Amino acid sequence: MADYDVIIVGAGFAGLYALYKLRKEGYSALLYEAGSGVGGVWYWNRYPGARVDVENLEYSYTFSKELEQDWQWSEQYSSQPELEAYANHVADRFDLKRDIRFGTRVTAMRFDEETDRWSVVTNQGDHVTGQYCVMATGCLSVPKEIDLPGIDNFKGKIYRTSLWPKGGVDFTGKRVGEIGTGSSGIQSIPVIAEQAAHLTVFQRTAAFSMPSQNGPTDPAKVKAWFDNRDKYHQQQRQSAFGLVMSDIAPRSAHDVSDEERRRLYEERWERGGLGIIGTFYDLLTDQKANDTAAEFVREKIRGLIEKPELAKKLLPYGHPIFTKRPCVDSGYFGTFNRDNVTLVDLREEPLETVTETGIRAGGTDYDFDILVLAIGFDAMTGALCNIDIRGRSGVSLKERWSDGPGTYLGLAVAGFPNMFLITGPGSPSVLGNMMAAIEENADWIADCIRYMDERQLTAIDATCEAQYAWVAEVNRAAAATLYPLAKSWYMGDNVAGKKRAFMPYIGGWKKYLDRCDEVAANGYEGFALAPGRATPEMAGQTCSKSTVA
Ligand code: NA7
């Protein structure tokens, strides 16, 4: 059995950086990756139109100035092939692949309280140990179970956007049905519509989507960014979402005239992307303020659809804007003006069953050759709960999280010592700049391991009290917003049986990072360290639950 300092799970952007960082610090590390290549979400989600929805200037690693300067993005919002190429470039440039076991899925992990080490088992029969485990398993990496009645009846081909075949799919001359109008649907629908003979889109909830206004990279903008790189990185840290370009303006939607409000929305709409969320500071907390943004976007949608009856179906109502993950598109709404595209509004025509030849909805049979499913993920907890993770006293993480994903700072789980999460539930993660979140979390983890090492400490475990207090803070922050009003994957609503809880931390990026720094500066306050600061948990007791009732 091989022994390492650290076992890392997942070779997406989080795992790659964690490997780079920990190896640079002198630790032996082994990374397991289920796929045959690096890139994580950008390895699996290779559906047509897959694209990042944060500008690449901000969605790039910042740990190496040289890397930043020798990689050029061709577009402002790059597409999946380029993002996957970037992941490979980084892995090759820093010689990371030699420590990655591809095609290998971690199936079980058990913490040994005698040795303070994790024992890790894979589907390829590997059995290794690590002093620490770093879970870089991704927030959107486990496709949710297919919950469509009669799905096994369908005789044509079924493709999931999240597990897209490497060779691509030829839609030429085909009749295609697509279910799902979240980001994956919204990105793939325009591209599939261009190729297919006919595309029928099944929409359950109309989505708010903003145009990316994507275009080729502007060299002047890139230069301006690099010339001020340090200043921008500082600004990211001080911002609400780790993003300079979508930062929140210090004004209320109620403090300006109707004309001025419109002008400000228009400005951000024209700029493209998700920046509209920051037009006013109260859009996420005040229903009336939120309504103004929602109505602005609905008006834009009306203007993009030729037939008013069709526009009506595409108008999002029923949840405040931004409380389900807002989408960024390239020509989504205009696609419905095409003759070869049909929209089926499942609110009016409920989906009855998948048939041998298509879908029956509202009493009508829609037939096609190919069915594309863009139905989403078991977000934030799915990947961790799919591994049989056993902490102190053999307690299972999946069971522990059955009442909600309790963590301390999104970085650790009480009762699961020496296991760190990158962009875990309870951290801002999916609400902001994932690249910045990844680097911040991984740096914190590396510093923590260094701290332990220098003091010859062997186990670090979040205390139940610290975890309860943090979960209370996560819940408090969410309750102060409109997010709980929507049925969303942020709340776990899209997966049957999942406990309803707002999973990411919305209390503010800066507040979160300051808290993480403070905890570290205070000698890892809220953690029990062994040998030394032992707690009841360390004697084998575990927290009774993960969340605060
Ligand atoms: P999302 O955002 O979870 O979207 C899934 C879509 O599929 C959404 O429109 C769902 O409607 C729809 N859906 C899911 N299940 C069904 C069933 N059973 N019947 C009909 N429609 C269904 O996943 P994406 O992959 O698009 O995006 C995930 C994230 O990736 C995204 O948020 C970005 O962060 C990047 P619903 O809204 O639940 O009514």
Q: Using CA positions, which residue lies closest to atom 16 of ligand 1? A: 375
Strand positions, DSSP E, 142-283: 157-160, 175-179, 198-203, 209-211
Q: Give per-residue pLDDT as tens, 299-340.
A: 999 999 999 999 999 999 999 999 999 999 999 999 999 999
* Domain containing residue 117: CATH number: 3.50.50.60
Examine the domain organization and report whether 364 and 385 are in the same domain. no
pLDDT of residue 369: 98
Is 186 contained in some domain?
no
> Sign of dihedral through CA atoms 486, 492, 494, 497?
negative
Q: Using CA positions, which residue lies closest to atom 23 of ligand 1? A: 376
142 C-alpha vs ligand 1 centroid, how far in Å? 13
Residues 139, 405: Cα–Cα separation, whole Å: 13
183 C-alpha vs ligand 1 centroid, how far in Å? 7
Measured from the Cα of 489, ligand 1's closest atom is: 3
For the chain, give the percent of residues with pLDDT over 70.
97
Examine the domain organization and report whether 385 and 525 are in the same domain. yes
Measured from the Cα of 375, ligand 1's closest atom is: 7
264 C-alpha vs ligand 1 centroid, how far in Å? 30
Measured from the Cα of 204, ligand 1's closest atom is: 39
Tokens 């979400």, located at residue? 41
Residues spanned by the domain of 310: 209-373
478 C-alpha vs ligand 1 centroid, how far in Å? 21
Measured from the Cα of 185, ligand 1's closest atom is: 26
- Angle, vertex CA 336, rays to CA 331 and CA 337, nearest 5: 95
Is 67 contained in some domain?
yes
141 C-alpha vs ligand 1 centroid, how far in Å? 14
Pocket of ligand 1 from Cβ distances under 6 Å: 140, 147-148, 161, 179-185, 204-205, 325, 346, 351, 374-377, 489, 494
Is 149 contained in some domain?
no
Q: Using CA positions, which residue lies closest to atom 32 of ligand 1? A: 325
> Among 194-198, 383-387, 537-541, which stretch is predicted with the lowest mean pLDDT?
537-541
Examine the domain organization and report whether 262 and 319 are in the same domain. yes
52 C-alpha vs ligand 1 centroid, how far in Å? 17
Q: Using CA positions, which residue lies closest to atom 34 of ligand 1? A: 325
Residues 94, 59: Cα–Cα separation, whole Å: 19
269 to each of 114, 218, 274, 279, 546, how far by Cα in Å? Answer: 58, 19, 9, 10, 41
374 C-alpha vs ligand 1 centroid, how far in Å? 6
Q: Give per-residue pLDDT as tens, 393-431.
A: 999 999 999 999 999 999 999 999 999 999 999 999 999
pLDDT of residue 543: 66
Quick one: average pLDDT of 184-194?
98
Mean pLDDT computed over every residue of the chain = 95
Q: How many domains does the chain have?
A: 2
Lookup: tokens for 211? 């145009």
Quick one: average pLDDT of 268-295?
97
Pocket probe for ligand 1: among 325, 347, 360, the residue whose CB has the most ligand atoms within 8 Å is 325
Examine the domain organization and report whether 242 and 333 are in the same domain. yes
Banded pLDDT at 540 (limits 50, 70, 90): very low
Residue 545 reports pLDDT greater than 80: no
* Residue where a domain terminates, one of 336, 357, 373: 373
386 C-alpha vs ligand 1 centroid, how far in Å? 20
109 C-alpha vs ligand 1 centroid, how far in Å? 31
* 301 half-sphere exposure, CB direction, 13 A CA radius: 24
* Residue where a domain terminates, one of 320, 355, 373: 373
Residues 143, 160: Cα–Cα separation, whole Å: 8
205 C-alpha vs ligand 1 centroid, how far in Å? 9
Q: 53 in helix, strand or coil?
A: coil
CA 376 to chain centre: 11
Residues 76, 214: Cα–Cα separation, whole Å: 6
Examine the domain organization and report whether 362 and 385 are in the same domain. no
pLDDT of residue 1: 78
Q: Using CA positions, which residue lies closest to atom 37 of ligand 1? A: 205
43 C-alpha vs ligand 1 centroid, how far in Å? 19
Is 324 contained in some domain?
yes
Examine the domain organization and report whether 28 and 110 are in the same domain. yes
Is 160 contained in some domain?
no
Banded pLDDT at 549 (limits 50, 70, 90): very low
Tokens 């962009």, located at residue? 423
Pocket probe for ligand 1: among 42, 184, 354, the residue whose CB has the most ligand atoms within 8 Å is 184
Examine the domain organization and report whether 305 and 425 are in the same domain. no
182 C-alpha vs ligand 1 centroid, how far in Å? 4
Q: Using CA positions, which residue lies closest to atom 12 of ligand 1? A: 180
Measured from the Cα of 205, ligand 1's closest atom is: 39
Give the ranges where 348-433 is alpha helix by DSSP (H). 382-385, 397-400
Q: Which long-range contacts (CB under 8 A, 24 or more apart) does 152-155 make?
A: 153/353, 153/354, 153/355, 153/356, 154/354, 154/355, 154/356, 154/357, 154/358, 154/371, 155/356, 155/357
Residues 506, 483: Cα–Cα separation, whole Å: 9
484 C-alpha vs ligand 1 centroid, how far in Å? 17
* 170 half-sphere exposure, CB direction, 13 A CA radius: 2
Is 192 contained in some domain?
no
Residue 480 reports pLDDT greater than 90: yes
Q: Using CA positions, which residue lies closest to atom 25 of ligand 1? A: 376
Is 99 contained in some domain?
yes
Pocket probe for ligand 1: among 345, 494, 503, the residue whose CB has the most ligand atoms within 8 Å is 494
Q: Using CA positions, which residue lies closest to atom 2 of ligand 1? A: 182
Give the ranges where 272-327 is alpha helix by DSSP (H). 287-304, 308-314
Quick one: average pLDDT of 249-270?
97
Residue 539 reports pLDDT greater than 50: no
- Angle, vertex CA 98, rays to CA 96 and CA 99, nearest 5: 75
Examine the domain organization and report whether 227 and 353 are in the same domain. yes
Examine the domain organization and report whether 391 and 531 are in the same domain. yes
Examine the domain organization and report whether 336 and 443 are in the same domain. no
Q: Using CA positions, which residue lies closest to atom 28 of ligand 1? A: 376
With CA atoms as reference, report the closest residue to 311 among 332, 336, 294: 336
Examine the domain organization and report whether 394 and 369 are in the same domain. no
Banded pLDDT at 535 (limits 50, 70, 90): low
Q: Using CA positions, which residue lies closest to atom 20 of ligand 1? A: 204
Residue 532 reports pLDDT greater than 70: no
Is 171 contained in some domain?
no
* Residue where a domain terminates, one of 373, 398, 428: 373
Examine the domain organization and report whether 541 and 499 are in the same domain. yes
Banded pLDDT at 530 (limits 50, 70, 90): confident
